[in-house]
Amino acid sequence: MNEFLTWLLDAVQSVDPIVRTLLAGFAIMLETSVLIGLVVPGDTVVIVAGTAVSSVLEGVILGIAVVIGALIGESIGFWLGRYLGPRIQHSKLGRRIGDENWARSERYLRRRGGPAIFISRFLPVLHSLVPLTVGMSGYPYRRFLAWTIPACVIWSTLYISVAAVAAGTYRELADQLHYAGYIFVGVIVLFLVLVFVSKKVIERAERKHLEHDGTDESPVADMKD
């Protein structure tokens, strides 16, 4: 196990740092873009890139690239929503998302306003649909950035830190413990399980909130204020 894992981590680390960083930023840009983000595993790419981080400076640079990539992706969704939102929603690809998800995104934005933008970064499906819905609503772009930037920073810091610490700890223990590889895999799996469970808990809580308040919705236009 240790031999294979060491080879894998070394292979990732052997990739030029600039290339790794650009790939992670590009992947997360796609992951946060409207509709594309539903099939691109950007978080996995960020975790893989994070395992190659060997210094604080590398981690910061990778984090900046991931945040910028996420903001570009979400901004694409925002402006597409502003100018082409209804067309996208009623396109063949948009219909595959399902009317329920589109309606949930709209209700979520009406009920939560700015916090919906922040929280959606951590929720499946909504992280791709909310920026588009925000653009369709007429919500100011600057206020959109004010809510989504902190979410992107927290998200990237969490993923990169866990991956870097887990890989660094493994490298320190690999020569001392023959089961160090299992510890590394266990940490990553535990982190992903916690992320998955947390998303489900938040998603369920938000869904119940929307269902409970579904009959008391404020106009989307109110968000412009």
Would 206 be classed as within a structural domain?
yes
For residue 75, being part of any structural domain is answered with: yes
- Asked whether residue 58 is domain-assigned, the answer is yes
Q: Say whether pLDDT at 171 is over 90.
A: no
Burial status of residue 61 (CB atoms within 10 A of its CB: 0-12, 13-18, 19 or more): middle
pLDDT at 62 over 90: yes
Does a structural domain hold residue 78? yes
Please indicate, yes or no, if residue 134 is contained in any of the structural domains.
yes
pLDDT tens-place string over residues 125-162 = 677 778 888 888 888 999 999 999 999 999 999 999 99
User: Which residue in this structure is represented by tokens 């790939």?
Assistant: 23
Q: Is the distance from CB of 46 to CB of 59 less than 8 angstroms?
A: no
Task: Please write the tens of the pLDDT for every residue from 6-30.
Answer: 777 778 888 899 999 999 999 888 8
Angle 110-116-122 from CA coordinates, rounded to 5°: 145
To the nearest 10 degrees (0 to 180), the angle between helices 126-137 and 56-89 is 60
Q: What is the mean pLDDT of residues 76-87?
A: 84
pLDDT at 161 (0 to 100): 92
pLDDT given at position 215: 43
Number of domains in the chain: 1
- Is 222 contained in some domain? no
Q: Residue 140: inside a domain, yes or no?
A: yes
pLDDT reported for residue 160: 93
- Could you tell me the pTM of the whole model? 0.79
Q: Which structural domain range is residue 19 located in?
A: 2-212
Residue range 192-220: mean pLDDT, rounded: 63
Q: What pLDDT, on the 0 to 100 scale, is given for residue 72?
A: 93
Q: Could you give the CA distance from residue 68 to residue 63 in angstroms, rounded to a whole number? A: 8
Write out the E strands in the chain.
none
Q: Is 195 a domain residue?
A: yes
